[in-house]
Amino acid sequence: MPTSIARQTERQLGGPRSVLVRQQRDHQELDRLVHAIDAAECADRQDLLTDLARLVFPHAFAEESVLWPVIRRVLPEGEALTLQIEQEHQEINELWSELEQTTPGDGRHEELWPRIVAVLREDVRDEEDELLPRLQERVGRRELARLGLAWELVRRISPTRPHPVVARRPPGNATAALPLTLLDRSRDHLDRAARGGTGRVARVAGGLSRAAAGVAGRLEHVPPFTAGEDPSTRSGRTARD
Summarize pLDDT for 145-186 with one digit per residue, the tens.
999 999 999 999 999 999 999 999 999 999 999 999 999 999
pLDDT tens digit string along 57-109?
A: 999 999 999 999 999 999 999 999 999 999 999 999 999 999 999 988 899 99
- Other beta carbons within 10 angstroms of residue 27's beta carbon come to 21
Domain ranges of the chain: 10-233
pLDDT tens digit string along 120-151?
A: 999 999 999 999 999 999 999 999 999 999 99
Q: So what's the pLDDT on residue 235?
A: 86
Radius of gyration over alpha carbons of the chain, in Å? 18
Integer angstrom CA distances of residue 84 from 78, 100, 173, 239: 10, 25, 17, 13
Closest CA to 120 of 97, 88, 148, 151: 88
Q: So what's the pLDDT on residue 107?
A: 93
Question: How much is the pTM?
Answer: 0.93
Specify whether the CB–CB gap between 93 and 58 falls below 8 A: no
Q: How far apart are CA 112 and CA 122, in angstroms?
A: 16
pLDDT value at 239 more than 60: no
Helix axes 141-156, 42-62, angle to 10 degrees: 130
Q: How far apart are CA 10 and CA 62, in angstroms?
A: 21
**Average pLDDT of every residue of the chain:** 94
